[in-house]
């Protein structure tokens, strides 16, 4: 592994930051302590710092003459999960936890910012510390707050730890890395009746069953088998007792897809079929389909930059390109809708003992910290000196 001596020397400081962030988790748009800490450290390193971008986001800018510009993004928020690790630096806030490793992501990008402030590449680097990745779309909020107008970048890069990939390795491929994430709520209105006299009503529970079948047939019969799609119903609520057919049924769930075309198809077909099926039975269906996060889609040239950066520092055969996309979602997708770029997974090691994302037993792996810092430095240098075969500056 090729990690600069100065970055290796940062490790105790990186670990200290990471543990402190871990002990003080903050969730969507409440990352005030985290943001203040970042702003303080970034300013102390001489960077131009902007706070309150997308509410609790922090942006730091490093300018060094003319040249291209690159955005590097880390997410900074925690989750509403009660930590069960028993670690000495476990969450001190009941019900909140850094269970997705954003404490590690924050630390790695901060380390890279400080290193690059002392070793500035030619061009402009924009360090994007993004709030509210989990469920609330903080990336979208930063973009709506003028992120890319105020801090124009040619390309943008993201990174997430990935349990199950060994520490010291990465995974990336061009095209979709993570799925689009949508939610839906369907209200079926029939007509309540005594259970012994169903002919006097319109049974919405029967309709719900038929709609579920019609929807799953979209995935199995209408989507091209070579494309990925998921429709998962996770809640069905109806009725209060044994012998009364209720008036209504409420169905909720999530839909996932990897391309805009499949996403459009799912939404269109779910609305169409729910309406037709309900009508067939004399009921009414109202579907509220909410588009939450788009698919996270890497562009090809930037994927190459990221892959070569990772291989350069981690070594040959350390960058997996054969992993399938995750049907989980990631709001860095909003940034990739606006700029070419690439999102990479950095190995977090074994999942043993429940060290999986969003598990109460999860912990970011400190052994990945310096590699992550070096990756950021390398990818920024390569993005800024693209088309040049010169040795990167790191
Ligand atoms: Ni995450």
pLDDT digits (tens, 9 = 90+) for 65-91: 999 999 999 999 999 999 999 999 999
The pLDDT, as a whole number, for residue 354 is: 87
* 134 and 100 Cβ atoms separated by less than 8 Å: yes
Distance 358 CA to ligand 1 centre (A): 8
Residue 205 Cα to ligand 1 midpoint, Å, equals 37
10 Cα–ligand 1 center, Å: 24
pLDDT at 291: 97
Ligand 1 center to residue 160 CA distance, Å? 7
Ligand 1 centroid to Cα of residue 98, in Å, is 9
- Torsional sign, CA 143, 109, 298, 332: negative
pTM of the model: 0.93
The number of beta carbons lying within 10 Å of the beta carbon of residue 58 is: 27
Segment 129-170, tens digit of pLDDT: 999 999 999 999 999 999 999 999 999 999 999 999 999 999
Q: How would residue 386 be classed by pLDDT, with cut points 50, 70 and 90? A: confident
- DSSP H helices, the chain, are 5-9, 11-23, 32-44, 102-118, 138-144, 147-150, 204-217, 260-280, 300-314, 332-338, 369-384
Q: For ligand 1, a single-atom ion, which residues have Cβ within 5 Å? A: 100
Distance 105 CA to ligand 1 centre (A): 9
Average pLDDT, the chain: 96
Ligand 1 centroid to 102 CA: how many Å? 6
Please determine, for residue 393, whether its predicted confidence score (pLDDT) is greater than 50.
Answer: no
């Amino acid at each position: 592994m090729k990690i600069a001596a100065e970055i290796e020397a940062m490790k105790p400081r990186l670990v200290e930051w990471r543990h402190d962030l871990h002990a003080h988790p903050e969730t969507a748009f409440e990352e005030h302590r985290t943001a203040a800490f970042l702003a303080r450290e970034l300013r102390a390193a001489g960077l131009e710092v902007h706070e309150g971008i997308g509410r609790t986001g922090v942006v730091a800018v490093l300018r060094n003459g003319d040249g291209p510009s690159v955005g590097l993004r880390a997410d900074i928020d925690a989750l509403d999960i009660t930590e069960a690790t028993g670690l000495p630096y476990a969450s001190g806030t009941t019900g909140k936890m850094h269970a997705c490793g954003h404490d590690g992501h924050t630390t790695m990008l901060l380390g890279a910012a400080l290193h690059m402030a002392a070793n500035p590449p030619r061009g402009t680097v924009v360090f994007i510390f993004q709030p509210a990745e989990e469920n609330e779309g903080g990336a979208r909020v930063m973009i709506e707050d003028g992120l890319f107008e105020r801090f124009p970048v040619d390309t943008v890069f993201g990174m997430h730890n990935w349990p199950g990939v060994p520490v010291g390795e990465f995974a990336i491929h061009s095209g979709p890395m993570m799925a689009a994430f949508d939610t839906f709520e369907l209200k079926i209105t029939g007509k309540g009746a005594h259970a012994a006299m169903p002919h006097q009503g319109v049974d919405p529970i029967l309709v719900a069953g038929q709609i579920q079948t019609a929807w799953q047939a979209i995935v199995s019969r209408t989507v091209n088998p070579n494309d990925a799609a998921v429709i998962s119903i996770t809640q069905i609520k109806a009725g209060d007792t044994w012998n009364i057919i209720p008036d209504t049924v409420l169905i909720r769930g999530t839909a996932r897809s990897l391309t805009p075309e499949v996403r459009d198809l799912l939404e269109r077909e779910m609305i169409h079929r729910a309406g037709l099926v309900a009508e067939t039975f004399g009921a009414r269906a109202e579907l509220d389909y909410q588009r939450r996060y788009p698919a996270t889609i890497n562009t090809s040239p930037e994927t190459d930059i990221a892959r070569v950066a990772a291989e350069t520092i981690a070594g040959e055969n350390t960058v997996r390109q054969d992993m399938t996309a995750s049907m989980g979602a990631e709001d860095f997708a909003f940034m990739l809708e606006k700029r070419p770029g690439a999102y990479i997974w950095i190995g977090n090691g074994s999942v043993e003992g429940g060290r999986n994302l969003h598990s109460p037993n999860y912990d970011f792996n400190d052994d990945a910290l310096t590699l992550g810092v070096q990756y950021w430095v390398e990818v920024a240098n390569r993005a800024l000196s693209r088309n040049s075969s010169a040795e990167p500056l790191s």
